[in-house]
Amino acid sequence: MRTHTGEKPHSCEVCGYSFSNKSNLVTHMRTHTGENPHSCEVCGYSCSERSRLVKHIRTHTGEKPHYCEVCGYSCSDKSRLVNHIRTHTGEKPHSCEVCGYSCSEKSRLVNHMRTHTGEKPHSCEVCGYSCSIKSNLVTHMRIHSGEKPYSCEVCGYSCSVKAYMVKHMRHHTGEKPHTCEVCGFFCYEKSRLVNHMRTHTGEKTHSCEVCGYSGSFKSNLMRHMRVHTGEKAHSCEVCGYSCSVKANMVQHIRTHTGEKPYTCDVCGYSFSQKSNLLTHVRTHTREKPHSCEVCGYSCSQKSDLLKHISTHTGIKPYSCEVCQYACSRKSLLKIHMRTHTGKKPHTCAVCGVCCSRKSNLVNHMKTHTENLNAY
């Protein structure tokens, strides 16, 4: 009858909490005394309530007596089934009074409330790291222990976080569940979709505190910062060349290996850089996308347009340190410097004569072909 009348005659002398049944008061008192009279015979686990021991025993027996009639999901704890059913009904009975966030499980609301209070009750005994969710601490501890409990059955890859394994498996299955509603681009990782969306919105959330440069990706900002710090994190093991961008190092390594992975479908010519292939293809298509706004001159390479523009501006940014000579192109300065150094890198394969310019060697070679034609 007390369930109808609300009468609770049994009160705790420690905290004042009251109950309708004496047995509930007895169980409650154990929270104060720390008494755990119910013990597991298998592993020694002990608890204050018999019902908790019954649930615990199922972790050993594998018994899952609670079934979902919708999808067949089964579990050992009735409360878990109640939470699971809400994934079908969409019910979210637990709401945040601060921001209106709602969820299906009380424990999730408890974790959510910590985003408002800033409370981080779970701390790492090794390094002092603290967090609001216990599962995050469990994951963090693996940094110290080196434990990687999640392993890929396909390739043997292992990791400490289950979410990482879910993402990794998509490399094998080809699954790409995240789709862009604007252009149809799809990817296997949500963070990549977030980054992709910035190509449509133009949002640039990462800014340089030194010069104000902004980029849409954090990785772009990190590369940019090396302009200020002078850091060159990538080094060539063959010749010691170093650079700030990994992609540049990949291209540099090909100068040693001779690898040319980009091949022209028209003539079979191959290149070490994709950009060079794109430029080469224009020799077949006759495409000239770079145009001069002054005179209408057009060309296939942006670098050629920059050289051309200097004929209008008269700017000659490359100067000789020896003799006041100045020019608009770095390559011209390089050739000029040979007049001072005497360097002649172009050699005739027929007679061994050396030239400082390639064009001079070409003209020289004609003297051999003309002599052959004379006979």
| Number of alpha carbons in the 13 Å side-chain half-sphere of residue 23 | 3
Amino acid at 323: C
Among positive and negative, which fits the CA dihedral 294, 296, 299, 301? positive
Per-residue pLDDT of 288-307, as tens digits, reads 999 999 999 999 888 888 88
For residue 371, name the pLDDT band (cuts at 50, 70, 90): low
Per-residue pLDDT of 152-161, as tens digits, reads 999 999 999 9
pLDDT value of residue 159: 94
The answer on pLDDT for 374 being more than 80 is no
Looking at every residue in the chain, the average pLDDT score rounds to 90
Cα gap 107→158, rounded to integer Å: 29
Per-residue pLDDT of 44-87, as tens digits, reads 999 888 888 888 988 899 899 999 999 999 998 888 899 999 99
The better pLDDT of the pair 1, 335 is held by 335
Structural domains of the chain, with CATH: 1-63 (3.30.160.60)
What's the average model confidence in pLDDT over 257-273? 93
Helices (H), ranges, the chain: 2-5, 22-33, 50-61, 78-89, 106-117, 134-145, 162-173, 190-201, 218-229, 246-257, 274-285, 302-313, 330-341, 358-374
Does the pTM surpass 0.85? The reply is no
